[in-house]
Structure 1
């Protein structure tokens, strides 16, 4: 494992995506513990993508296999469902001006995990990403890829937890104003819907 891998992985993790949006929303609505739960869920949601990449299954998905299409549309539908739930002020992410709702940490983590599990582009990404940094002569390629996958997961958890914890600090102040809450609901719903539509119609 070299510095190039670490820097590249950090940049990828820092880039905002559906996982970051969900973790930040969870932090705003439920506080620090909710943010940590979302970060844990997003992290474990990476496991199937890493496993598929190490086993070479993602090559079939990249070639346009039926499995890729099924997961792609399932992921898009789930993101659109989250957008609808957010607009209805329900589901694992619900912001309220009067009080912070008590939500199941398991439900938050489960939703976060599904967001990544149902993203086939994540599997294809790892197929293209991990092999580039496998060093010949430094042990089995599989062991190296598993190690890099574990490091990537650790980075994901730390960065997402920081994003969510910072959002939790702002949550109390933000949620005091009804107008701000309505704007945030619409914004988060729009982001989820945008990611869902892009996954459904523009992902390859």
Structure 2
């Protein structure tokens, strides 16, 4: 039985902190395969992502292409939530992945900030029965019972404000060429 990690987020944009989490999950063998899922329309978020879904998806693919093959070979980007209309619920994504991987264990990767709201998630009790929840400690949002992977204190807000050194070069170029965030 393989351990399939599910790592969702707005990735608005994906940054070096996200890539550090991905690298640690694979190199520490915490998961065998990782599915990176840019959110479509996250219903618990106060505001919609600034970049359109297809741009966030493209940035994820560009970022992953810069990872070493030993890591990148174990990671895929899914457009399942970007393609879905209406609010995107994690439970629906997990059920979809479970159909594709019926004999594998699913591991939901969340940061301490997201986990603090887990009781508000759509069908949270059912979701908790379908997956193992791995909570990653975030420097700016510490929590109890988390996995410390030496997370980087990087935020998408800083990137959107112009600190593009916090993203892989290919993503920084994409942001500039697409006129996203502070590059407008």
- Taking structure 1 as the reference length, what is the TM-score of the superposition? 0.25
* Larger RCO: 1 or 2 (CA < 8 Å, sep 6+): 1
More strand by share: 2
- Taking structure 2 as the reference length, what is the TM-score of the superposition? 0.27
More helix by share: 1
Larger radius of gyration: 1
